[in-house]
């Protein structure tokens, strides 16, 4: 069984994955463990909650890997956890993962955005920093914006709390030269937005489709350590099931 944890990054995920992959909502602590115990052979982690609830725990990813589950991460929480667990066998996918792995990104909030509920298709209300960065890089490459103002826009975006980040807020905060046509800049950014999170999630789905639907052998070079905290999570999962 292949399982994908996804939500606001790719609201149309269900229509894209068909019947070969089971879609579950953004993951919280215990969900990777639960998927492993449910018989998952392949797990794709894209979205995960982190502010109001406990986020996906690295330990449960290590447990899944120790059981031979193939675990892939991309785009959002998945990219972050993949960078942190790559040494143990989790596979990162996409540009955002590469940025975390290279240390270009460090903060969980770099992939965060404010969005509506699942019932409204996770309607995005703010911009994640990773999409801002991808957009500015693309516009510079196409010479739609000069490097100097792009750098100021990126700096401004990084300084804005993710729940308040929009192109209008970024342009208003950026230290741009006097006389800059702010409306033109904002329009350029809005029409040229690159949704890097979505692109990376699509890449992950392609990999999940082609991944063997069976567990691999246990990884070599390390052994899963069943600590007291881990046993507590196991007991909590059993009690809630």
**pLDDT exceeds 90 at position 67:** yes
pLDDT at 170: 97
> What's the pTM?
0.92
Write down the domain spans for the chain. Answer: 2-106+197-224, 128-192
DSSP 102: T
Burial of 200-229, coded b for 16+ CB within 10 Å and e otherwise, reads: bbbbbbebbeebeeebeeeeeeeebeeeee
Reported confidence tier of residue 150, pLDDT bands at 50, 70, 90: very high
Average confidence score pLDDT of the chain:
92
Q: How far apart are CA 44 and CA 90, in angstroms?
A: 10
**pLDDT exceeds 80 at position 176:** yes
For residues 197 and 118, which has the higher predicted lDDT (pLDDT)? 197
pLDDT at 108: 87
3-state secondary structure of 18: coil
pLDDT mean over 197-212: 96
Q: How far apart are CA 189 and CA 20, in angstroms?
A: 37
Q: Which of 111-115, 136-140, 171-175 has the lowest mean pLDDT?
A: 111-115
Strand blocks (E) in 27-145: 42-45, 70-74, 91-93
pLDDT mean over 7-12: 94
């Amino acid at each position: 069984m292949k399982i994908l944890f996804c939500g606001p990054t790719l609201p149309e995920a269900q229509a894209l994955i068909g019947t070969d992959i089971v879609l579950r909502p953004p993951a919280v602590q215990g969900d990777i463990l639960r998927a492993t115990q449910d018989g998952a052979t392949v797990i794709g982690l894209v979205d995960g909650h982190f502010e109001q609830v406990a986020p996906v725990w690295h330990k449960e990813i290590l447990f899944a890997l120790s059981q031979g589950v193939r675990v892939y991460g991309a785009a959002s929480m998945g990219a972050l956890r993949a960078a942190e667990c790559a040494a143990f066998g989790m596979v990162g996918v996409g540009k955002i993962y590469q940025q975390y792995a290279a240390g270009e990104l460090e903060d969980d909030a770099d992939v965060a955005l404010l969005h509506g509920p699942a019932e409204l298709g996770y309607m995005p209300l703010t911009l994640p920093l990773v999409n801002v960065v991808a957009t500015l890089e693309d516009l510079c490459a196409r010479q739609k914006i000069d490097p100097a103002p792009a750098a100021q826009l990126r700096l401004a975006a990084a300084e804005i709390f993710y729940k308040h980040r929009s192109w209008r807020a970024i342009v208003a905060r950026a230290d741009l030269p006097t006389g800059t046509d702010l409306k033109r800049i904002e329009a350029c950014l809005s029409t040229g937005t690159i949704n890097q999170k979505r692109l990376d999630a699509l890449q992950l789905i392609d990999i999940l489709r082609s991944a063997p639907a069976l567990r691999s052998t246990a990884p070599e070079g390390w052994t899963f350590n069943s600590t007291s905290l881990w046993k507590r999570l196991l007991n909590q999962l059993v009690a809630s099931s």
